[in-house]
Amino acid sequence: MREITIGQYIPGNSAVHRLDPRTKIIVTLFYMILLFLLNNFQGYVFPVAFIVLASVLSGISIKYMLKGLRPLIFIIALTFILNIFMIKGRILYEIGPLDLTYEGLYQGAFMAIRLVLLIVGTSLLTLTTSPISLTDGIEKLLSPFKKLGIPAHELAMMMTIALRFIPTLLEETDKIMKAQMARGADFESGNIIKRAKNMVPLLVPLFISAFRRADELAMAMEARCYRGGENRTRMKELKMTSLDYMTYVIFSTIVLGALISRYLW
């Protein structure tokens, strides 16, 4: 579990790190849309330029970002292969009943690159934004939709608490696992069904403890005068700076260039 690097926050103080989380979320959203608007290979120059720029400014190497692809390599390969064989067109090669077409090759490569750019580009957000500022940003961005019944503050609080308790619960899982193993429990051998069955003595105490924790935490929060988002202030207020406005200008240029490229190339 520890090898997964996509999206793990790398603390830093670069220009990208210092951006308002809202800016980074908005840019990431538009970046995703942009990727799906591009219709030819040449257009990828723009997202690639975006990633290179972000990498230089944030001090996070492209190599590191690509490392995050490793757990997803299977999905990317599958996308490529499916496209190669599913698309009809000029046949380059025949493998049994399957036709390898020129159009398939083109489309497969196009889709695979799109996926790579999508993963790398979006991982930039979480690589450079701490979980707290991310939740703060989401809360602020969603707050205009409160009137539509979207519980912005509650969602953000839930995310914060989840983030806070993940390490605690992992530690606890480890402890229970060791305790049960000392009593002869076996979590590693057998087929899937047997293994799932063996997990029961792990999950039951874990759930009981999680509910007790939730109960106590709720009481502790109330004791500290928590009463929802109403009238609540924040120690760290989000503020857009000239850095953010510059980012919007540069990013808009990239988007514009990409849109024009649809017609030029």
Query: Cβ distance 122 to 134 under 8 Å?
Result: no
Task: Give least dist CB 186 to other proteins, A.
Answer: 29
Beta carbon nearer to other proteins, 162 or 179: 162
Residue 222 interacts with other proteins (CB under 8 A): yes or no? yes
Which of 143, 160, 173, 198 is in the footprint of other proteins by CB under 8 A?
160
Beta carbon nearer to other proteins, 103 or 172: 172
Residue 132 interacts with other proteins (CB under 8 A): yes or no? yes
Task: Give least dist CB 220 to other proteins, A.
Answer: 4
Residue 206 interacts with other proteins (CB under 8 A): yes or no? no
What does each C-alpha distance from 167 to 2, 129, 164, 171, 211 come to in angstroms?
A: 12, 19, 7, 6, 16
Which of 232, 245, 252, 260 is in the footprint of other proteins by CB under 8 A?
232
Binding mask 82-121 for other proteins (x = CB under 8 A): ----------------------------------------
Task: Give least dist CB 138 to other proteins, A.
Answer: 15
Residue 205 interacts with other proteins (CB under 8 A): yes or no? no
Residue 2 interacts with other proteins (CB under 8 A): yes or no? no
Query: Which residues, 6 or more positions from 177, have their beta carbon under 8 angstroms from its beta carbon?
Result: 185, 187, 202
Helix (H) or strand (E) holding 196: helix 192-223
Query: Among 33-41, 82-90, 209-217, 255-263, which window interacts with other proteins (CB under 8 A)?
Result: 209-217
Measure the CA–CA gap between 99 and 243, rounded to whole angstroms: 51
Measure the CA–CA gap between 22 and 240, rounded to whole angstroms: 9
Identity at 71, one-letter amino acid code: P
Residue 174 interacts with other proteins (CB under 8 A): yes or no? no
Measure the CA–CA gap between 19 and 28, rounded to whole angstroms: 13
Residue 158 interacts with other proteins (CB under 8 A): yes or no? no
Task: Give least dist CB 169 to other proteins, A.
Answer: 10
Query: Among 110-118, 137-145, 147-155, 214-222, which window interacts with other proteins (CB under 8 A)?
Result: 214-222
Query: Among 57-65, 78-86, 186-194, 217-225, which window interacts with other proteins (CB under 8 A)?
Result: 217-225
What does each C-alpha distance from 248 to 56, 189, 251 come to in angstroms?
A: 17, 53, 5
Which of 26, 163, 202, 206 is in the footprint of other proteins by CB under 8 A?
163
Helix (H) or strand (E) holding 100: strand 98-101
- Which residues contact other proteins by CB under 8 A? 131-132, 160-161, 163-164, 167-168, 171, 212-213, 216-217, 219-227, 231-237
